């Protein structure tokens, strides 16, 4: 599944080729993905220049200032975006194109859990799918103070284990299962630790670990940013060298203790019982 780093790499890869270009056509080969694709996008956008490409969580936000709104794209479980020369025939599962004079941005989504939507106005976050998203972990507002306030929040603090809390998109966006596991290892915190039991200094370490883990993954995708036009899957999956994720039973890279796997909130968690408390 494309995670925040993959989506950010898509953004970085697409923006230099598309921003400032005028749209020549918009082609939807299906009426819907997970949700209906607006049928009036071509009429609405053709002749308008793309102003910017932003990101909120795992949503890509294409701003069309003169058309007065935002095209919102989510890659779902299996989606990818790539740039192809004009007149390139669409292959299987390639459902949606934004056509510019020199290039075509093509969305492929075999499982069709993605979305293509339109939000009128200046603020894309007004869309109901975006309105309740939590903090951006790469924004300057994501600080140790913020995380400390979060775990102390509620009537008597959040007693839930820290890992499912990090993965709750209503609180914090874009920290998927892999990134939660790796960040907690880096910070030396057990995924099972009750959130409100963690002191401010440990939460500060965790804040840094989350940011660094995401930035490293984005950097790992850097080569696909440079090769964007030629890559056949857009931003595919590039992963960190994982220290704990998917390494159940293998020795911890730091201390040699076998990595443990447990189920938490329906997901697998991996951690070193010695390095993480």
11 catalytic, yes or no? no
58 catalytic, yes or no? yes
Tell me the closest approach of the beta carbon of residue 244 to Zn ion, in angstroms: 9
29 catalytic, yes or no? no
Tell me the closest approach of the beta carbon of residue 219 to Zn ion, in angstroms: 25
Tell me the closest approach of the beta carbon of residue 255 to Zn ion, in angstroms: 3
State in Å, rounded, how far the first CA of the chain is from the last one.
29
Is position 259 an interface residue for Zn ion (rule: CB under 5 A)? no
Is position 184 an interface residue for Zn ion (rule: CB under 5 A)? no
- For residue 32, the number of C-alpha atoms closer than 13 Å in the C-beta half-sphere is 4
The interaxial angle of helices 144-151 and 200-220, nearest 10 deg, is 120
Distance CA 272, CA 257 (A): 7
Residue 11: closest CA among 249, 260, 221, 270: 221
Stretch that binds Zn ion, among 7-15, 175-183, 197-205, 257-265 (CB under 5 A): 257-265
Distance CA 43, CA 23 (A): 11
Q: Which ranges of the chain would DSSP assign to H, the alpha helix?
A: 4-18, 41-45, 128-131, 144-151, 162-166, 177-187, 200-220, 222-226
Is position 252 an interface residue for Zn ion (rule: CB under 5 A)? yes
Strand partners, 80: 108
Is position 272 an interface residue for Zn ion (rule: CB under 5 A)? yes
Q: Which of 3, 6, 94, 182 does the annotation list as catalytic?
A: 3
Q: Which of 44, 56, 58, 186 does the annotation list as catalytic?
A: 58
Q: Which residue number, 81 or 272, has a Cβ lying nearer to Zn ion?
A: 272
Is position 273 an interface residue for Zn ion (rule: CB under 5 A)? no
Q: Which residue is nearest to Zn ion (CB)?
A: 252
Q: Which residue number, 255 or 265, has a Cβ lying nearer to Zn ion?
A: 255
Selected binder of Zn ion within 200, 201, 255, 265 (CB under 5 A):
255
| Catalytically annotated residues | 2-3, 58, 267
Give the residues lining the site for Zn ion (CB under 5 A).
Answer: 252, 254-255, 257, 272, 274-275
């Amino acid at each position: 599944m494309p995670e925040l780093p993959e989506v950010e790499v898509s953004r970085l890869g697409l923006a230099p080729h598309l921003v400032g270009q005028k749209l020549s056509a918009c082609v939807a080969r299906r009426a819907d993905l997970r949700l209906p694709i607006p049928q009036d996008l071509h009429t609405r956008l053709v002749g308008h220049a793309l102003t910017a490409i932003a990101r909120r969580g795992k949503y890509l936000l294409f701003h069309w200032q003169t058309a007065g709104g935002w095209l919102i794209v989510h890659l779902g479980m299996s989606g990818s975006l790539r740039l192809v020369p004009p007149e390139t025939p669409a292959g299987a599962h390639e459902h949606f194109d934004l056509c510019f004079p020199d290039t075509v941005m093509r969305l492929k989504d075999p499982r069709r859990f993605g979305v293509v939507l339109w939000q009128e106005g200046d603020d894309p976050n007004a869309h109901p799918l975006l309105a309740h998203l939590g903090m951006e972990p790469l924004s300057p507002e994501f600080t140790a103070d913020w995380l400390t306030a979060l775990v102390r929040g509620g009537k008597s603090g959040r007693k839930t284990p820290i890992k499912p809390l990090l993965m709750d998109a209503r609180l914090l966006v874009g920290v998927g299962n892999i990134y939660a596991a790796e960040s907690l290892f880096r910070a030396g915190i057990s995924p099972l630790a009750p959130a409100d039991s963690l002191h401010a200094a440990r939460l500060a370490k965790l804040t840094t670990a989350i940011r660094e883990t995401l930035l490293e993954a984005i950097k790992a995708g850097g080569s696909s940013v440079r090769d964007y036009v030629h890559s056949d899957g857009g931003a595919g999956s590039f992963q960190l060298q994982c220290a704990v994720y998917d390494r159940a039973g293998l020795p911890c890279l730091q201390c040699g203790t076998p990595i443990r796997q447990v189920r938490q909130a329906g997901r697998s968690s991996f951690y070193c019982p010695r390095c993480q408390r």
